[in-house]
Each structure stands twice: as C-alpha cells, then as structure tokens.
Structure 1
Amino acid sequence: MTATSLPSADADFGRGAGSVAPTLVPASLSRTDMALIGGLALLSVALLFWATRDPVLAGGFLAGLAVAASGLLFVRRLFPAAAAGEVAAPDWAMLRQALAHDDIAIAITDRAGRMVCANDLFATWFGGFVTPPGLPLEGQGADRLKNAGRAAWRDGEGHADDIAVGALHLRAQVTRSGQAEDYLVWRFSAPEQLDLLSEIARHLDGPAGRTLGQAGVMGALVSAEGRLRAANPAFLLRALGEGDQAHYAGRDVSPMLRLGEGGSLFFAREGERATPLRLIQIPLAPADSGGPIFLALIDEEFGPADRGTAQTYVETLLSLLPFGLAMVDRDGRFLYMNRAFIRAAGVAEGRMPRYPGDLVVGEDKGPLADMIRRHSSGQQVGGDLSIRLAGQSDEPVSMRVVGVRGLGEAAVLLSLKDSSEESRLKRQVAQQSKMQAVGQLAGGVAHDFNNILTAVLGSCDLMLMRHTPGDSDYDDIQHIRSNANRAASLTRQLLAFSRQQTLRPQILQLPDVISEVSHLLKRLMGDTVELAVHHGRGLGAVRADPVQLEQVIINLAVNARDAMMPGGGTLTIETYPVAASTVREMGSEIMPPADYSALKISDTGAGIPADVLPKIFEPFFTTKDVGKGTGLGLSTVYGIVKQSAGFIFADSKPGEGASFTIYLPVHRAAGDTPATPPPAARPKKSQWGTGTILLVEDEDMVRAVAERALTRAGYSVVAARQGEEGLERFETMDTVDLVISDVVMPVMDGPAMVRAMRAKRPGLPVLFMSGYAEEQLRQSIDIANVAFLPKPFSVAQLAEAVSMALDEAAHRGDHG
C-alpha cells in the first residue's frame, strides 16, 4: 500500500495542496553572477585609481579583493551544506511510507481546509481523495465529523463515533499536528471485529503454537479444499522436515499424512517407523457449508490407561483458542470448558454447571439435551441450535454441537460465541434510536402546539385591548392567557428534551450556580426537608447556560422532595472534580475519559424501582398520580445536560433513596467571549410604527392574528398563505419595508422564498418566525442578516420584534 499526495506527483510531494515548498540557497554561483561580481570589482578599482591617482594603492586594493574571493570560494567548496539560509527539504517519502496502512484510512489537511496527503485506503473507503470533513457520510455522520474537526482545532483532538459510508461503519480520530500545529491528521478505522480464522492463524504461528508443540499437540488450520493455511512449528517439522517449511501455505495436506493397516494415521515422510497419530477435527463452520477445519494431532504412544493424558493435551489446546469451546461426555455432563466459553455463557465464578442444560432457560433445556444425545452417539457432524442463556434470556445466541471421536470420555464438542459486546452495542444503538425518534416526535409536537398557542395568546391580547380591569370578561380572558402561557412552558420542555432549544452558554462555576438557586430551593423544600450542600476543591469551570442549569437543579430537587413526602428527609447537593483517570477506572461505556466537574443530587426517599429506572428519562413517563405530573421534568433535565455536552446517570436502591449525578466537561479554552445576553435584557422597542410589511404564514389562525396586531400597530400589511403566493405579492409591491415569514411551509418554505426575493432586492429586511428553536433553524437556514421570533409570541412581542428588525435594517442601510 502506498500513500498518495494531492495533487502533486511523487517528485514534487512538498508542493501539494496546502504544503509549502522549502527555500534552498544554491551551493555555487552561476557564470553570469561571477562575471557581474568581477565587473563590479574592476569598476571599484578604476574609481579608486581615478580618485587617488595612486597605482600602488589601486593595485593593492585589487589584490585584496582577489584574496578575499579566493578564500570565500575555498570555504564554499569545503563546506557546501553550511550555506546561510539553507533549509533541508522534508523527507516526504518517509511520510508516505508512514501513512501506508492496511486497516486505517489517513488524510492530512492544512488550516485552509485543503488536502495535503492521504493513503490509498482513504481513497478506497471514500470513493476518491475527498477532502474531509466533506465526506459522503450517511445520516448525521457529516455533522459529527465537522464537530470533531472543530474540536481538534480547539482542543488538539476530536472524535466521531459511528459514522457510516454505505454499509461500512467507521470511527474517526482527528488530531492537530505539525511544528506550527497548522495541520489536521484524520484517522478512520473500522470497529474491531474478531476474525476467527485470522486469530487461529496468528496464534498457531506465535507463542501459543510453540506451547502446543511443547505439550505434544501438532495443530494445523486447513481450508475446505484441503489446503494448509497455518500450522504450528511442531506440525511443520513432523510433516515437512526442517528444510521445507519456508512456503507451506496453500500446500495440499493429504500427501503429508498416510493411513496404515488397521486405519492408523501417520506422517508420510516418517516412513515405516512413524509413530501412529490420533486426529481431532474441529469444524469452524457449519458442516454443510464446507468451511475450514482445525486439525489437532497427538502421538498415539499411550494405551487406554493414558487417555487422561490425551484429554489433558486437548484441554491445553482448547484453553489457548480465542473462542468458547467445551467438552461433554456421553452422559451429557461437562468435562471441560475454556475461559472464552465461561465468559460467553455468563458462568459465575465458583458455580460451574454440571450439565449444558443448566446454562439455558427452561424452554431450551429439552432441545439442547436431545441435540447433544444425537451427536454423542451418531456421526461426526455438527449442528447449530438457537438458545437463550439463563442470565441473558432476552438475547438468543447460537450454540454449535459437534460429535467427536478419539478424545477419551469426550463425545461432544460445544462452541459458543461471546456476543456480550455485540449485544451491548445493539442495546446502545436501540436506546439511541428510541431516544432520537422520541426527540423528533417531541420537537414536531412542540412546533404544531406553538402555532396553536400563538393564535390563542394573540387573540387574548387583542381582546384585552377592548376590555379594562373590572369588565366581566377581563378576568376570563386573563385566565385563558395564563393557561396558554403554562402550555407554552410545556412546549419549551419538549424542545429541551429533544435538544432543540436555544442555549446561551457562559463560563461558570457550579458552586456559584447552586448559591444563586439555594434560596429558592429552601422555600421549595419546606420545613420537613433538610438541605445540605457540600463543595469539593479544585473544581474546573464548565460551559453551560446558567438559567437552564438552574432549571435542572430545581427539577431534580422537586422530584427528590416529592419522593421523601410526607415524612421528609435530607436533600444533599454535592460538587466535586472527576479526573480522566477516575473516568477510566469507572469503565463507563458512554462517557469518554476526560476531566469533568460533577454535580450530585441525592435524597433519602423511597428510591426508584429497578423496572422503572431505565424509563425515567423518557418523555411523558411519570409515576405520580394523575394530574400531579406531566412526565417532562426528567426528560427536560436529560435534554439540557446532553445539549450541554454532559452526561447524567441515575442510581437508586429501593428504600435507600436515589441519586442523580451530572458530569459536565471542564472548559479549558482561553479567550472566551461573553455570552450573548438573553432577549429580555435588551431595551424594549416601541409598540407603534409605520411601513409596509409582507406577511407570509400558512397557518390561517396565526396569520389572521398577526395581521390584525400589525395593522393596529400602524403598519400596512399584505398577507400571503404560502411561499409561492408570497413571491407573487412581492412582485406587485412597489415598497416592502419588512418581510415576516414562517420557516416551514408546504411547497416553498420561508428560506427559499427569501432567497428568491433577495436575488432582486439584496437589502430586504427579514423576520422569521417559527415554532422550532432558533439555534436549530439558524444552522439550516444559512441566510445573513435575518431576525428571528420564536413561537408562541404575544402581540406586544410581535410589535417589538418588528420595530427592532426595522431599526437594525436602517442601521445597516438595508431597504426593500
């Protein structure tokens, strides 16, 4: 395999895209340069003679120049590589050799995002030398890879797991490198998978194969065609001799063995004095598939009394193999099982089973016993049986049963694949897919609900303009408006769970956040719950939205209070640092090793039942009585923590309380800019104005409320039902001071309509309104100089947003 530089050829590797060719000073001067220097020297002598009229002085000056030039030339030739400013060219051939790899695709890009170098495997996996992160990845893989590249520029290293190119699933590691740290090294690797045949071949050719030979076992891996793929040194020495082992792979095994009288087996090259052999065949694939076979040969030097020694040799062989194998006698009892089999079967230490049926659930005991009975007395063939292990009843596994001969008491060989890692990955993917699907559903529900709430709130505001406090309808309208605002808070919780809300992160310390919210917590807890706060030393700063983080603490504290009622108890809030080494010791499958600041909230309540614990972060799941909970509290906590790049874990034992631990990564970047202040901190704008507004909204009730509100505020409004109609109205209007448009609409959405309008009027002011989150929409819209108004909004908020958008457009000098 060779690495490839782009786009230069091998001889000009250093001048590829994004690289800088070194500047070299020539070791000798050209003839033209020497003639020029000589001419200047003679001119200097002539000027000196003209000025002094002294031939002796001029001749001495000429002689001095000649001596100096001769000395410089001598030194130049004596030390040609020491010329000033000479820079050694980088060894690009060595770099190409270093990039050559059989199972890792590598590419190097510079700070300008240009490809510098890549190996051939990179081109094979990605269909050519495509510059990362712009690779043809499936699903969210492109976004994960972009985020990994940003993290590498910022922190020195970034990771992206589970990115897919077609059916190929990869893991990416991005590292900032170079003397000036202005290059990114992109490494792509496939998750490690156990290749059974390669593992056996590697063990046979290594120390394990030599250990088998010392124990008297000659092992060989043979293909379905009878060709030798791998063998240990003991087999090669007996079968081929000392001088014929160099190129054994692919040779036919049958000429190496011969059958004697009585069916005894011998090595052919050992002649008549050969020692008889006992052959053990271990199929490595279903019998009807014609797969490879592992052969183990043992000298038949012992009689029936020494059968135990042969079995000991076989047990030694099985213990060295990387896959689970066990031997069973004719009565169906275990004789031996290797460590891989014990691990795959989930056998507890000190509780070795007696029968294979002890490993499986009750429904599978009979079929497994019948299959073992058939193979223990029948032919030497194998079969597969799908079983469910007693400790893993939800995950069926495949057990292979093979009848064997010549192993003393052993009659059946069982093989079991360790699928614990595969099962864990399946559960993790299933959980992520479920949470992602529920999050998308929650975001869609929040969007539609926000449209309804916008119409309700707007209608209430318009009616309140016609009523004054004391009127018979005033209190009813206020009651409707209050409940609509409560519903709006539920939609914000839905967006928080689906990680689609807009966060305004700041660099902060966890103790400061807890101090700000502690007074409110004391009032919420009441007299029966004691609040205890403990802070650890050496806490690192974190980057999070303080308002949302306070909401997390309040939600967890209120749940803890409810769990301790009516008797009360103690609510404990702790903060402490967690080093990367501690994370590694924890062995978490989800949280990568790094430095974290932890926030732990514990209570002394009744605890969470084991069957409920896996479901607590799901939206709308609640154990409270009807009418006492929405089921969105913990799902909101989960969404905020995950959107802040953190992790949250729940731990509980019934009767011993529950604890929630939040891990937020320590923020180490320097030169942070202050967070953008929330919209509420900005000065309020006027509720009245003038100008012509084009309003485009597909929801009739929202459009009607917005049109009435803007008209009452003094604006001239032209309304359209969807994007195409909005374009038609735009063509007929002489002046448009502002376009207010929904984002998601049928046929033509808001961003597409605005792009078409700005193609004719580049300075057109635009105000987008949507039930989705601003942060999510800004990433997908990609249009400069647009304002955003989240739904649901009141009449006053709409008027204020319009006034602010017009003022910002006037400040920029934009016009319609």
Structure 2
Amino acid sequence: MDHRKELDRLYKMEYGEPLEFAFRCVLVLTGAIIHFQYTGMTTALFWCLGFFLSHALYFMTLRTRPEYCTEFDTLKAGSVFLVMLAAFVWWPASLITQDDIALRISGTAGTGTLLVFLINRSDSLKWMVYGEIAIIFAAVGLIIAVEMVAVDNAAARWVMGFSGLALVAYFSRTLLAARTQRLETEAASVRSVQAQKMEAVGQLAGGVAHDFNNILTAVTGNLELYEVIDDPKERDQFVAEARLAADRAATLVGHLLAYSRKSTLSLSTFPVGRVFDQVNTLSARLLPSSIDLSFDSEDASQPIRVDQNQLMTALINLIVNARDAMGRSGTLAIRSRACAFEEPTALLDGSMLDPGCYVEIAVTDNGPGIPAHILRKVTEPFFTTKEIGEGSGLGLSMVEGFARQSKGGLMIDTSPDGTTIRMYLPSPIACERAVEVDNTVVNAVPAAA
C-alpha cells in the first residue's frame, strides 16, 4: 500500500470540503447546546469538547504527515480516528437509553447519521473497518444491555437482542461491501487509465514511425540520387530536398516536445500586442485574400509571461487549422483579454486549470465547427481529419502541450456556426486589468457543443 496516498485520501475525505466539515461542526455544537439547555446535563458540553479535541488531534496527525509515510503513520492516523469515533458515539448511544422520548429520538438520529457517515467513508484499511464495526457493536450492545435491565419479559429481551445483532450484522455487511466496491472501482479506474496510456503510446509510436519513415525516405532517396547524378545543379537540388526533409523532421520533433511538455521554454514577460503584430505580418503569407483576419486586444500593453517564439508557433498553427476548416474563405478573429479563475476549472483534456490570473487568447473562425464525437480527440497526437499528406495531426496537440507547459490551458467552444479555441496563459497583472475593465472577476467556462 502507498501509505502517503492513503493518508492523503483520509485527509481529503475528512477535511477536503470545508463547508461540509463546518456543517458537521455546527450541528455538533448546536446539538450540545440545545441538549444542555433542555436537560441541564453538563455531559453534553463535555461530549462536545471531547469531539472537538479528538478532531483537533486527528487533524494535526493528518496535517503533519511526512512526505514519505510508513505503516506506522497510517496506524497512528487510523487509531486516532477510532478514538474520535468512540468520543462521538457514546453520547447518542446514551441518549437512546433515556426515558424522555425527545432524547431517545435525538440519540437514534445521531446514531443513524453516524452509521451512514461510516458507510460513506468505506475505509481502505480492513483493520480500521473492523475497528469501526467493533465500536458500533459496543455502542449497540450497551444500549441493549441497559434496556434489558428494565424489561422483565424474556420474549421482549430476545426481541431486543435479536434486533441489536441484526442491526450490527447488516451494518457490518454493508460497510464491508461498500469498502470492496470502492476498492474495485479504484482498481478498475487505474486499469482503464493504464489502457488509455498504452493506446496513446501505441498511437504516438505509430504516427512517429509513419512520419519519420516518409522523411527518411525523402532524405535517403535524394542522397542516393546525389551519388548517381553528375550534374552539379541537380546534385544541389537533391541536397536541398534532403535538407528540407531534415527540417521537417526537426519541426516534427519540436511539436512532439511541445506536446509532451518537455521542450525548453525561454520565459519572458512582454505585451501581447507585440506578438499580435508579428503574427499579423506572418499570416499574410499563410492566408488567402478571401479570409478576413482581424486582431482585437482589450489592452495591447497587457503583459504575458510565456515563451514568445512558442506562442507565435502556436498561433500560426491555430490560424492554419482555422484556414483549412473554413475552406480557405471566411472570417478569422484573434482576440485577447484579461481574466481570472477563482476555482480550479476543468480543461478539454480533463486536467484542471489552477486558480489565478491569465490572459485569454481566443482564435475564432466561422467554419462548420467540430463534430461532437471527435471534439475530445482533436488534441490527440497525429489525429487529423485532413487527407493523407495534408497534415501531421500535431498542430492542436502542440498548442495544448505548450499551454499546459506554460502553466495555462486550452478550451474549445464549437458549434455549426464556428469554433473558438481559447488559450489561457499566465499573466503577472491580468487580475488587475480584468477588474479595471469588467469590474468583476471573470469565471466563465465555455461549453463545448
């Protein structure tokens, strides 16, 4: 077992949702105060104090977990949880034995809530599950024992005993079944992820082999012709063709590095308008006159911190993709604006964009859009809908890899009226610019059709 991973899971399960944990604490505190006001019993306050002290101990145990955890660390954390469980359950159990019907209902509700909570946890460590069952068995046994003293009828005692054992037995079975189901689901998820990785590796290897085979064929073919031809001009042409094929190989390797997020980035901070000016100049040779290209920046001096050359390459790839999607005629708009995300946001590839300040660069075309059934595949390496020889299928994968390596991300919004591809790239002062322009924090996620 990965003990660090298990302790991380326990911490996230108990304290990963602050609102839910705060809700539990409020319920316990409110319940203790109400019971004290109703009965005058100080034990309610001692119970509340014990609950919070044991929770504080459990929190510190998990919060201070070492980077490399051992079985002892897991044993310590699990033992503290069982102590915390025992510190909670004794009060609801004791209320069930009271003569006051209000207290009995309160105790039953508290105990039932605890059973649901434990089933929902379905802890991974079997000894923890058995410990939880033992504590619940002890609590139910205490209730039955106290109640039996007040009952003279032997048949009633048998009914009470049977009911208590049935409750514990069914709870134990349900708890163990929930644990087994959760572990099986996690194992199936791991197998599925591994299978997807192997499929991606196979697809990547096949694509690389195919493209490099074509490139090597061009290199070796031209070099062979160089050896058998005597005309200097023709020989120079063969060398030029071989060099051109080698350049294509270098470009392919660059795209692969960008996709795998292993390329070396030369980070610098510069205004987004500078890149727009350079891309506008380069795009004149890429786009026919039938495509209307426009650039619009919320603030041309807006700073952005990425590799400038990689950003230009990414924008050129997006422009070429949009050109091909529109059938070489239409409108193409490139815009930028400051934005901020307050919470982690899901990206197209399933990863999460961290909260923070970004510059959004959106490339919008009025082409036919991306079919829904292939939307998730468009950023996969070597996936392309173009004819053979018209594209390597690495354009969007390179853009996504560059965005993620730059601590940003990629989103796609598409419909039959066109497609917008949004790159989110980190900016040192984008938040301030966003507040100045919108007077609100932007936190909108585009929906993919």
TM range (shorter): 0.5 to 0.7
Counterpart selection for 1:102 from 61, 76, 96: 61
1:433–1:511 distance in 2 versus 1, CA, 3 Å? farther
1:552–1:260 distance in 2 versus 1, CA, 3 Å? farther
Equivalent residue number for residue 608 of structure 1: 370
Look up the SS of the partner of 1:596 in the other structure: strand
Partner deviation per Cα, 1:197-245 (whole Å, 9 max, x = no partner):
9889869969xx99x95692543479979987369xxxxxxxxxxxxxx
**8 A Cα contact 1:583 1:594, kept in partner:** yes
Between the aligned partners of 1:477 and 1:569, the Cα distance in structure 2 is 39
Between the aligned partners of 1:519 and 1:444, the Cα distance in structure 2 is 32
| 1:103 positional shift | 0.2
Counterpart selection for 2:427 from 643, 666, 683: 666
Between the aligned partners of 1:250 and 1:281, the Cα distance in structure 2 is 9
**8 A Cα contact 2:362 2:423, kept in partner:** yes
1:515–1:425 distance in 2 versus 1, CA, 3 Å? farther
Between the aligned partners of 1:226 and 1:534, the Cα distance in structure 2 is 62
Partner deviation per Cα, 1:512-550 (whole Å, 9 max, x = no partner):
101111122244232322222221249752232222211
Between the aligned partners of 1:509 and 1:424, the Cα distance in structure 2 is 47
Look up the SS of the partner of 1:550 in the other structure: helix
1:442–1:103 distance in 2 versus 1, CA, 3 Å? farther
Between the aligned partners of 1:447 and 1:623, the Cα distance in structure 2 is 16
**8 A Cα contact 2:345 2:352, kept in partner:** no
| 1:499 positional shift | 2.6
Counterpart selection for 1:520 from 265, 277, 282: 282
Counterpart selection for 1:634 from 392, 396, 410: 396
| 1:569 positional shift | 2.4
| 1:264 positional shift | 4.2
**8 A Cα contact 1:602 1:658, kept in partner:** yes
5+ residue gaps, structure 2, are 1-55, 116-128, 430-449
User: Counterpart amino acid of 1:564?
Assistant: M
| 1:266 positional shift | 10
| 1:556 positional shift | 0.6
**8 A Cα contact 2:286 2:320, kept in partner:** yes
Between the aligned partners of 2:131 and 2:428, the Cα distance in structure 1 is 60
1:542–1:454 distance in 2 versus 1, CA, 3 Å? farther
Partner deviation per Cα, 1:731-775 (whole Å, 9 max, x = no partner):
xxxxxxxxxxxxxxxxxxxxxxxxxxxxxxxxxxxxxxxxxxxxx
Between the aligned partners of 2:272 and 2:59, the Cα distance in structure 1 is 47
2:336 is equivalent to residue 575 of structure 1: yes
Between the aligned partners of 2:391 and 2:215, the Cα distance in structure 1 is 24
| 1:594 positional shift | 1.1
**What is the percentage of aligned positions where both structures have the same residue?**
25
Between the aligned partners of 2:214 and 2:388, the Cα distance in structure 1 is 24
Look up the SS of the partner of 2:293 in the other structure: strand
Equivalent residue number for residue 307 of structure 2: 545
Equivalent residue number for residue 499 of structure 1: 261
2:340 is equivalent to residue 584 of structure 1: no
**8 A Cα contact 2:272 2:300, kept in partner:** no
| 1:658 positional shift | 1.3
Between the aligned partners of 1:196 and 1:435, the Cα distance in structure 2 is 43
Counterpart selection for 1:468 from 225, 232, 237: 232
Between the aligned partners of 1:587 and 1:562, the Cα distance in structure 2 is 28
Equivalent residue number for residue 274 of structure 1: none
**8 A Cα contact 1:450 1:491, kept in partner:** no
Equivalent residue number for residue 135 of structure 2: 229
User: Counterpart amino acid of 2:60?
Assistant: H
**8 A Cα contact 2:225 2:238, kept in partner:** no
Equivalent residue number for residue 645 of structure 1: 407
Between the aligned partners of 2:210 and 2:356, the Cα distance in structure 1 is 35
1:450–1:548 distance in 2 versus 1, CA, 3 Å? farther
Counterpart selection for 1:554 from 306, 312, 316: 316
User: Counterpart amino acid of 1:284?
Assistant: F
Equivalent residue number for residue 125 of structure 1: 69
- With structure 1 as the length reference, what TM-score do the two structures score? 0.33
User: Counterpart amino acid of 2:427?
Assistant: V
Counterpart selection for 1:488 from 212, 230, 250: 250
Instruction: Kindly indicate whether structure 1 or structure 2 has the higher relative contact order, using CA contacts under 8 Å at least 6 residues apart.
Output: 2
**8 A Cα contact 2:381 2:393, kept in partner:** yes
Look up the SS of the partner of 1:486 in the other structure: helix
Look up the SS of the partner of 1:281 in the other structure: helix
Look up the SS of the partner of 1:562 in the other structure: helix
2:284 is equivalent to residue 284 of structure 1: no
Aligned length: 336
User: Counterpart amino acid of 1:125?
Assistant: C
Equivalent residue number for residue 256 of structure 1: 146
User: Counterpart amino acid of 1:103?
Assistant: L
User: Counterpart amino acid of 1:101?
Assistant: M
**8 A Cα contact 2:344 2:354, kept in partner:** no
1:439–1:255 distance in 2 versus 1, CA, 3 Å? same
Alignment root-mean-square deviation, CA: 5.5
Between the aligned partners of 1:428 and 1:540, the Cα distance in structure 2 is 42
Higher-Rg member (1/2): 1
| 1:573 positional shift | 0.9
| 1:477 positional shift | 4.0
| 1:102 positional shift | 0.6
**8 A Cα contact 2:86 2:135, kept in partner:** no
Between the aligned partners of 1:551 and 1:603, the Cα distance in structure 2 is 18
1:606–1:645 distance in 2 versus 1, CA, 3 Å? same
User: Counterpart amino acid of 1:561?
Assistant: R
**8 A Cα contact 1:228 1:253, kept in partner:** no
User: Counterpart amino acid of 1:286?
Assistant: R
2:237 is equivalent to residue 478 of structure 1: no
Between the aligned partners of 2:210 and 2:269, the Cα distance in structure 1 is 29
1:266–1:284 distance in 2 versus 1, CA, 3 Å? closer
Look up the SS of the partner of 1:125 in the other structure: coil
| 1:613 positional shift | 0.8
1:124–1:492 distance in 2 versus 1, CA, 3 Å? closer
Between the aligned partners of 1:446 and 1:456, the Cα distance in structure 2 is 15
**8 A Cα contact 2:330 2:366, kept in partner:** yes
Equivalent residue number for residue 296 of structure 1: none
2:105 is equivalent to residue 216 of structure 1: yes
**8 A Cα contact 1:648 1:662, kept in partner:** yes
| 1:478 positional shift | 3.2
| 1:620 positional shift | 1.0
User: Counterpart amino acid of 1:255?
Assistant: A
Matches within 5 A, 1:404-803: 433=197, 437=201, 441=205, 468-469=232-233, 472-537=234-299, 540-565=302-327, 568-579=329-340, 582-584=341-343, 590-653=352-415, 655-667=416-428
Partner deviation per Cα, 1:437-466 (whole Å, 9 max, x = no partner):
479859986998799699859969997998
5+ residue gaps, structure 1, are 1-96, 106-120, 129-164, 169-189, 232-247, 269-276, 293-382, 385-396, 399-416, 669-816
Partner deviation per Cα, 1:164-213 (whole Å, 9 max, x = no partner):
x9xx9xxxxxxxxxxxxxxxxxxxxx9xxxx999889869969xx99x95
User: Counterpart amino acid of 2:167?
Assistant: Q
Matches within 5 A, 1:129-528: 216=105, 218-219=107-108, 220=111, 229=135, 252-258=142-148, 261=153, 263-264=155-156, 281=167, 283-286=170-173, 433=197, 437=201, 441=205, 468-469=232-233, 472-528=234-290
